[in-house]
Amino acid sequence: MAETTLLEAPSATGASTAPRWRASARHAVGVVAPGTAVIYLSLLVLIPLAALSVTAFHGGSSAFWAAVRDPESWAALKLTLLSALVVVVLNTIAGTAIAWVLVRDQFVGKRLVSSLVDLPFALPTIVAGLTLLTLYGPDSPFHLDAAGTRFGVWIALAFVTLPFSVRAVQPVLAALEREAEEAASSLGAGSPTVFRRIVLPSLAPAMLSGAMLAFARAMGEYGSLLFISGDRPFSTEVASLRIFGLYENGQNNEAAAVSLALLSLSLVVLLLCGVLRRRLTRPEFG
């Protein structure tokens, strides 16, 4: 009995003072912290993007469409979307194969190769552009001059998006239980069947996650494309290069319109992929 009162006494007195102080302090933190985050995001991201949208429609929606349908800008947007899709499909396949080798295969130097996969992410884009031009440009040691061609654009995009495709799949593959695969092959399934029926369905959501990251990156890429693409209108000029050109010309409204079109295009594709991924990850019953 004495123990209970001893234990209860402080908390009874505390109930009148400390929790109230603590509650108000927590309340202050609960308001100040989200407030700070929102103000920071607004000043840095939201207000500038709002200004971009307003400027894009400066001359009304007809001016917006005129800027987007301008032949050079339209060609740039088409090239960007097409290249991003081509490269993302290629790198999702290559990335899954690389992840497979890094997880299931054993060889000398595997750790080094594994850490090199991150290099394109850490490397500044301008350095990536320079290195690729050294190797696949006019002075190419392999006599493989891709500068100024769409092939050059694809090489640069493949370079910068590779880490996303590999790293999204790798942990999921590492965590995959081998029992189901062993059961399937003991029941007579060949390795292509095992891969298609057992492994692929488990990897698909992760592959899609990697593809989404790679796509977002490829749509906006600038630095690594600057030199190797040659910036040729109607041929290798991607949207970000076109936007920069318009901005340098002082055509801010047109640049904002193309920017908004590019941003909307990538957000729409990402949104669709998100819906698809949710359907792929939905647990199957029965």
Partner 1 sequence: MRRLFGRFGLRTTVLAYLALLVIVPVGAIAYRAFAPGLGTAWHDLANPSGASSAGFFHALILTLVVAGIAVPFNAVFGVIAALVLARHRFPGARLLDAVIDLPVAVSPVVVGLSLVLVYGRAGWFGGWLAARGIQVIFSIPGIVMGSAFVSIPYVARAVLPVLQEIGTDQEQAAATLGAGPWQIFWRVTLPSIRWGLAYGVTLTTARVLGEFGALSVLAGNVVGHTQTLTLYVGYLFEGNLDTVGADVGAVILAVLALCVLAVVSLAGSEKGSPSWLSRFARSPRSSRTSSLSTTSL
Q: Which is nearer to partner 1, 71 or 279 (CB)?
A: 279
Shortest Å distance, C-beta 186 to partner 1: 15
The footprint of partner 1 on this chain (CB under 8 A) covers a number of residues equal to 103
Structural tokens at position 270: 């990402």
Q: Which is nearer to partner 1, 199 or 256 (CB)?
A: 256
Q: Does 163 bind partner 1 (CB under 8 A)?
A: yes
Per-residue interface string for the shown chain with partner 1, residues 204-233, x marking contact by CB under 8 A:
-xx--xx-xx--xx-xxxxx--xx------
Query: What is the Cα–Cα distance from 148 to 138, expressed in whole angstroms?
Result: 10
List 89, 113, 183, 200, residue binding partner 1 (CB under 8 A): 113
Structural tokens at position 34: 């989200």
Residue span binding partner 1 (CB under 8 A) among the ranges 1-9, 62-70, 81-89, 270-278 = 270-278
Shortest Å distance, C-beta 23 to partner 1: 11
Query: What is the Cα–Cα distance from 268 to 126, expressed in whole angstroms?
Result: 28
Residue span binding partner 1 (CB under 8 A) among the ranges 1-9, 66-74, 153-161, 176-184 = 153-161
Question: Rule CB under 8 A: which of 62-101 touch partner 1?
Answer: 94, 97-98, 100-101
List 63, 85, 135, 176, residue binding partner 1 (CB under 8 A): 135
Q: Which is nearer to partner 1, 1 or 228 (CB)?
A: 228
Cβ-in-10-Å burial (0-12, 13-18, 19+) of 33 comes to: exposed
Q: Does 134 bind partner 1 (CB under 8 A)?
A: yes
Structural tokens at position 116: 């090199």
Question: Rule CB under 8 A: which of 18-47 touch partner 1?
Answer: 18, 22, 25-26, 29-30, 33-34, 36-38, 40-41, 44-47
C-alpha distance across the termini of the chain, in Å: 57
Q: Which is nearer to partner 1, 36 or 193 (CB)?
A: 36
Is residue 98 within 8 A of residue 113, CB to CB? The reply is no
What stretches of the chain show up as alpha helix (H) in DSSP?
2-16, 18-41, 47-56, 60-68, 71-104, 110-116, 119-122, 125-136, 150-174, 179-186, 191-194, 200-220, 225-228, 239-248, 252-281
Q: Which is nearer to partner 1, 1 or 285 (CB)?
A: 285
Look up residue 110 and give its amino acid. Answer: K
Query: What is the Cα–Cα distance from 205 to 165, expressed in whole angstroms?
Result: 12
Q: Which is nearer to partner 1, 1 or 11 (CB)?
A: 11
